[in-house]
Structure 1
Amino acid sequence: MFSITVRDHIMIAHSFRGEVFGPAQALHGATFLVDATFRRERLDEDNIVVDIGLATRELGAIVAELNYRNLDDEPDFEGVNTSTEFLCQVIADRLAERVHRGGLGEGAQGLAGITVTLHESHVAWASYERAL
């Protein structure tokens, strides 16, 4: 399996419901490094996994939709604990939509999957992997 990864970052605010979250139940900020990894079994006719420029552009557009937002105020996330794991899935699903719509070029139709990893710090991160 071949893969490439592109990176961006995001700064959000949010709060959580549930005792398991302790002090994070209060409104707080988070800054994440966002890695999007694209996978395929065989390279395309240009010997690449996906156009890295298009992958970077599309990840940046998705991150821009969330950046500097209080996720508690976003209608899409009403009543949802926007955990790191959950946000990984949101970003991966939005990338998959863009792949299917052609936003990453025709060659991206041969992708097998996407993994999105959000790094909360140098010692903690979460990922979500999905097939295409």
Structure 2
Amino acid sequence: MYSLTVNDHVMIAHSLPNEFFGPAQGMHGATLAVEATFSRAELDEHAVVLDIGAATEMLDEALSPLRYANLDEHPDFAGRLSTTEATAEYIGSRLEDALADQPDVGITVTLTENPRAKVSYTVPGRP
């Protein structure tokens, strides 16, 4: 199995209005470090998992709607909490759309919320 990881970060604002989340119930900002890992069992005809530039561009496009956004007002989070896990799923889904023509590429998104906590989401149905 081969993998390629590209990274970026995104600054968001949101609230998690449920007592389960303690002080994070109120509006607050977060800077999330984002890693997108693409994997495949065999390299493509160019001997790569994906072109690094293309992978970086895909991640940038996936993050673009989130940059400096208040996720409480973001249409894709309407009716659901914008937890780090839900945000990772959102990014993974956008990357899956970008790679619709390459179903043999696995996608895992890892968000680092702080130095002691990371969340990962692996897009189901891909290798």
Give the TM-score, by structure 1 length: 0.90
Q: Residue 124 of structure 1 aligns with which residue?
A: 117
Aligned counterparts of 2:69 and 2:50: Cα–Cα separation in 1: 30
CA RMSD of aligned residues (A): 1.2
The unaligned stretches of length 5 or more in structure 1 are: 103-108
Q: Residue 97 of structure 1 aligns with which residue?
A: 97
Aligned-partner SS, 2:89: helix
Q: Residue 79 of structure 1 aligns with which residue?
A: 79
Counterparts of 1:21-100 in structure 2, within 5 Å, are 21-100=21-100
Aligned counterparts of 2:83 and 2:24: Cα–Cα separation in 1: 10
Give the TM-score, by structure 2 length: 0.93
- Per-residue deviation, residues 54-82 of structure 1 (Å, max 9, x unmatched): 01001011111111010101122112111
The unaligned stretches of length 5 or more in structure 2 are: none
Contact 1:49 1:111 in 2 (8 A): no
What is the aligned counterpart of 2:108 among 99, 107, 115? Answer: 115
Aligned counterparts of 1:95 and 1:65: Cα–Cα separation in 2: 13
Which stretches of structure 1, 4 residues or more, deviate above 3 A after TM superposition?
Answer: none
Q: Whose helix proportion is higher, 1 or 2?
A: 1
How many residues are paired up? 125
Q: Percent identity?
A: 49
1:110 deviates by: 5.6
- Per-residue deviation, residues 83-115 of structure 1 (Å, max 9, x unmatched): 001111110011000111x5xxxxxx2633100
Q: Which range moved further: 71-80 or 21-30?
A: 71-80
